[in-house]
Amino acid sequence: MQQQQQQQLAKIIPISVSALRRGNDPWNDIRPGTLFPGAGRFGWLFPAMAANVRKLGLLMVRHAGKILLLCLLGFMASCHKPDDLGDVSKIPGLGGDSSVTTPIDQWIYDTLTVPFNISAKYRWDQFELELNKSLTPPSESKIIPTLSAVKKVWIDTYIAEAGSNFMKTLIPKFFVLVGSASWNTDGTITLGTAEGGRKIVLYVLNDFRTKSMPGYVPADSFNIKQMFHTIEHEFGHILHQNVLYPPSFKTIGVGFYTSNWNNVSDKEANSEGFVTAYSMSAPDEDFVEMISIMLTEGRAGFENIVNSIPPGTTPDNVTQAQAQSRLRQKEAIVVSYFKDVWNINFYSLQTRVRAQVVSLIQ
Amino acid sequence: MKNSIFLYFIIALAALASCKKDKTVFSETADERVGKVLAAYQDTLAHAPNGWKGFIFPGGLNGGVVAFYFKFNNANRVEMFSDFDSVSNVTVLQSSYRLKALQQPALIFDTYSYVSVLSDPDAAANGGSYGSGLTSDFEFAIDTIKGDTIMLTGRLHSTKAYLVKASQQEMNDYYNKKHTNRAFNNINKHLVYFKRVTFGGVTYEVVPNFDNRTVIITWVDGNGPHVVTTGYYYTTTGIAFITPIVSGSTTINGLDNIVWNNSALSMTLSVNGFNQTVATATRPLVIDATSPSRWWSSYARYLTNQGFHINGVDDALGIRNVTYFYGLSYESGGGTFLDAMGVYQLYNNQFHADYAPLFNPPTFTAGKAIFHYSRNYGNVSSTFTLSDSLTVDITRTQLTDALGYYLVQLGTTTYDMVGARDAKAWVRWYAN
């Protein structure tokens, strides 16, 4: 149960980017699937398929006797026989996949495995990922830049504030790297997932481009910030799954959590007293979104979010002052949580993280 | 009753017979055999002296093919070229691969490569659809090895693919960057829609479908008309058909020595060594009498985002200049309602279709559809201006040309609608 709950808590951080706004040519959507509601490319197939399933069901009911007999025969034929397992050391792939070591493998081993016992799987392994999604493996040229940025922005800054033992204890041990984003049926994309505090899946590596890399355009800073947003978010989950935040946090935005968050813009969420739209999905997400945004945007960036809440009252009767006060209360709880539970000066950590993020994008 | 006693007897017999069996059919365990097969495949892949030609048939291309060249080594590395675009056809890319025992022995291109470009869910990478790309694969189950050919089946989308041992000439052509001829892509720059080539006294009509990387070849002989759709891929001098065209005793493998003359707007090429200039025609070689009614009745809505191509000019009537333009539709009312030419706009992240000329159902004569304007739906507004409505009126006038339009079916959901007046005006409809 605990396991399940943890998975639930840490499920995913779907940072929604509308499919329409991503590509150069949204027209592409027309060919394969439709953007017009209710007229999907294969939509017309479904009634026919449902009928077939019904037919199969009827068939099975009518011939239940024969099916039973067949099963009985099968059962008899399966009479006990001793199974010789053979030489188990000859099982191919036992102990995991092996490939000839490349410089990338060596770099990962030296930089992440030896000091932190982290492994990073970048070679494609479908079984680490959702089986029903079209995804691609990462480009080899993106692996070292991404992982070294991860180390600088996330690992090194926490170590500087909390010491290496803190990080070695809590750090997720297993990174899975994916080249593309994970596209959801509602048009949003998932940029990262975490499971049980052990495994983090990072998507969209192929779009990772820092200012020192050729072809960098300012729009790439979005991808970079999203990636660290994801990592800080998931690490936030690990922190609160080890020691829960004060229950008073849940009362600040009570009544405003909604599964309809993906139809709310970040700006609207701010006016309701939430730091992002996704933080409206649940108190746990709210808590880690606070951590994540405050770290990646920096103190000035967070102040900017709070101060740019427009005057007036939202449709849910939240005033500007109430929204700002809610964000301030949440900020205070996050800061004291870091101090009391992990003995970390949050503002100092924030300064370090933001400085690293800035160095990648400006 | 008698029957069921007999039945139970049979069951008892089966039960008895099933208990005694030979334990080993194979001399080795399954694991040992899988290990051996993997080693053999590895050996086959890595020891082809000139590497492999590869052909992948992504589901999203509906019969189209992408041609590859692979050179595998024994250290999980592969070098490749791909004819997917003009750069990947002359730029070698090294990436990683491995063989793995999954449910079947599988060949996995396990870091990003020209193979995974086709399955990239970001449509910007391959022109497919968002979320699934061209529905292709980079994990392949190895089905069989027959002679010089390895048959593959994708594990996620069941993409068909195969590898063929390359010759030394073919290998050198790739590494010496000889794959530069993509002149075939200009064939639609001919002012007239219908293009014809000849060989051995037979005339062949060539209709390219660049969306799917296929061509439709039509010809007529003593046995009547023939229509063949085949994927094509780029060679060093032109294109090759993945399924050769067989016409009587003649086999045509592709179009060679293609040269596009941009000032004369004409194309020269050779068919089986026979040099010629591509001819144009103002009507199809074989008129498909039912295609207009098929087009009209198969789908309720067809869309284009390009508008009419007229006399060599894309979107000659400027429909894309409509404010917030997203697409132009033709929507059948099925005879019950009026047909509509909808103008779809995209703003505030929502689609709007506030203005549309309406039509009586088209009439179908001699393989042509003729459109009949009825009246307009909707009004001009701040988001659909007067000048927008004038643009739409021009397009409506074009559509109602009294001579009508041929409908050339390119695929189950794609038609080119070609003006019968001079075949210089056409628009591509995608069923939606």
Q: Is A139 on the interface with B (CB under 8 A)?
A: yes
A24 vs B contacts (CB less than 8 Å) = 124
Token pair recorded at residue B171: 């290998």
Q: Which of A20, A32, A73 sits opposite B349 (nearest CB)?
A: A20
pLDDT tens-digit series, residues B34-51:
889 999 999 999 999 999
Q: Higher pLDDT residue, B253 or A42?
A: B253
The residue ranges of every structural domain in chain B are: 30-175, 183-281, 291-431
Q: How far is CA A192 from the centre of its chain?
A: 3
B193-222 per-position pLDDT tens digit: 999 999 999 999 999 999 999 999 999 988
Confidence of residue B10 (pLDDT cuts 50, 70, 90): confident
Residue of A35, A91, A97, A124 to mutate, testing the B interface (most B Cβ within 10 Å of its Cβ):
A124
What residues 135-194 of chain B have any CB closer than 8 A to a CB of chain A? 135, 138-139, 155-157
A90 in contact with B, Cβ within 8 Å: yes
Minimum Cα–Cα distance from B347: chain A residue: A20
- Predicted-assembly ipTM surpassing the 0.95 threshold: no
Report yes or no: B198 and B276 within 8 Å, Cβ to Cβ.
yes
| Fold match flag (B30-175 vs B291-431) | yes
CATH number of B30-175: 2.40.128
B183-281: CATH topology is Lipocalin (2.40.128)
Closest Cα in chain B, distance from residue A291 (Å)? 30
For residue A9, is pLDDT > 50?
Answer: no
Above pLDDT 90, what percent of chain B? 78
Which among A25, A69, A106, A134 is the top mutation candidate for probing chain B, defined by the most B β-carbons within 10 Å of its own β-carbon?
A: A134
The pTM (predicted TM-score) of the whole model is 0.80
Closest-CA residue in chain A for B353?
A36
Residue in B closest to A80 by C-alpha: B19
Local confidence band at A81 (pLDDT 50, 70, 90 cut-offs):
low
- Average pLDDT along chain B: 92
pLDDT digits (tens, 9 = 90+) for B252-282: 999 999 999 999 999 999 999 999 999 999 9
Instruction: Measure A136 CA to nearest chain B CA, in Å.
Output: 6
Q: For domain B291-431, give its CATH number from 3.40.50, 3.40.1350, 3.90.1520, 2.40.128.
A: 2.40.128
Domains of chain A: 2-17+102-361 (3.40.390.70)
CB contact under 8 A, A90 and B32: yes
Instruction: Please check whether residue B25 touches A, CB under 8 A.
Output: no
Give me the residues of B, 322-381, that contact A with CB < 8 A.
Answer: 326-327, 346, 349, 351
B11 neighbourhood in chain A, CB within 8 Å: 69, 72-73, 76
